[in-house]
A and B are shown apart, each in its own frame.
Chain A
Amino acid sequence: GENVEQHPSTLSVQEGDSAVIKCTYSDSASNYFPWYKQELGKRPQLIIDIRSNVGEKKDQRIAVTLNKTAKHFSLHITETQPEDSAVYFCAASSGGANNLFFGTGTRLTVIP
């Protein structure tokens, strides 16, 4: 089965700096890679996703890169703000939403 590893488990950055979270996956059949943000006590919410036919996707301050050969993908947040503080989960899937395998999460703290 798929195994998704996520690093780091905690990350603190100064407001305005960039944050990078990295994930690796094991199943070469995986072709969908979403990122979820979960604020304390709330539901995970999709913030960006990427499919295997592209190498990079950007949405304002958030970007995701995918290296299929190396089986890793990364989340980049630029110009971080305190409201970016949350736990971020990466996931990989080969068969749609029913086959989502999540990483263990990264707790991001943006220091004002």
Chain B
Amino acid sequence: NAGVMQNPRHLVRRRGQEARLRCSPMKGHSHVYWYRQLPEEGLKFMVYLQKENIIDESGMPKERFSAEFPKEGPSILRIQQVVRGDSAAYFCASSPVVQGNTEAFFGQGTRLTVV
């Protein structure tokens, strides 16, 4: 099991461009979560997805950010018209379909730098 895979590991975008971050969950996991980590800060929940469904997007900025988890392929976090303040590490986590509380396994993260 390769674990949660994120790509790219590092992404540089100019202001106004689009950033697309990919996350492949662990095999057998159908729950995906995206978190943002600003320098020297903790992890902030952004969105929770299951296949083809957004379950909770309460942590997503209302504009420019979107996420999807299609039936086939990785989950995508899309940031349109990036600004300097979007520079952060974006972590994806996945968990299996189980009842009750369960561990979230994190990917290596994508470090987005907006120049």
Cross-interface CB contact of B42 among A31, A32, A34, A105, cutoff 8 Å: A105
Closest chain-B Cβ to A85's Cβ sits at a distance in Å of 16
A42 interface contact, C-beta 8 A: yes
Q: Give the contact stretch, choosing among A58-66, A71-79, A92-100.
A: A92-100
Q: Quick check: A102 and B42 within 8 Å, CB to CB?
A: yes
In the bound complex, residues from chain B placing their C-beta under 8 Å from that of A95 are 101
Chain B hits for A32, CB < 8 A: 101
- CB neighbours of A96 from chain B (8 A): 95, 100-102
What's the interface size class on B, roughly?
Answer: 20 to 34
CB distance from A69 to the nearest CB of B (A): 20
Tell me, rounded to whole Å, the shortest Cβ–Cβ distance linking A93 to chain B: 6
Report the number of A-B residue pairs with Cβ-Cβ less than 8 Å: 62
Nearest chain A CB to B115 CB, angstrom units: 20
Interface residue stretch chosen among B14-22, B65-73, B75-83, B106-114: B106-114
Per DSSP, are chain B's interface residues mostly helix, strand or loop, or mixed? strand
Give the shortest distance, in Å, between B15 (CB) and chain A (any CB).
25
Digit string of B28-60 for contact with A (CB within 8 Å is 1, else 0)? Answer: 000101010000011111001000000110000
B91 touches A43 (CB 8 A): yes
Contact A97 B93 (CB under 8 A): yes
B103 at the interface (CB under 8 A from A): yes
Chain B residues in 8 Å Cβ range of A46 = 103-105
CB contacts (< 8 Å) of B109 on chain A: these are 43
Taking A98-B31, A98-B56, A101-B45 as contacts, is the C-beta distance between A51 and B108 under 8 angstroms? no
A98 vs B48: C-alpha distance when bound (angstroms): 6
How far, in angstroms, from A34 to B103 measured CA to CA in the complex?
8
B25 to chain A, nearest CB (A): 11
Alpha-carbon distance between A108 and B109 when the two chains are bound, in angstroms = 21
B42 contacts A98, C-beta separation under 8 Å: no
Tell me, in angstroms, the Cα distance from A74 to B85 when the chains sit together.
33
Q: Does A104 contact B (CB under 8 A)?
A: yes
Chain B residues closer than 8 Å to A99, beta-carbon distance = 45, 56
Q: Which of B91, B101, B107 contacts A97 (CB 8 A)?
A: B101
Given the complex of chains A and B, what is the CA–CA distance between A103 and B43 in angstroms? 8
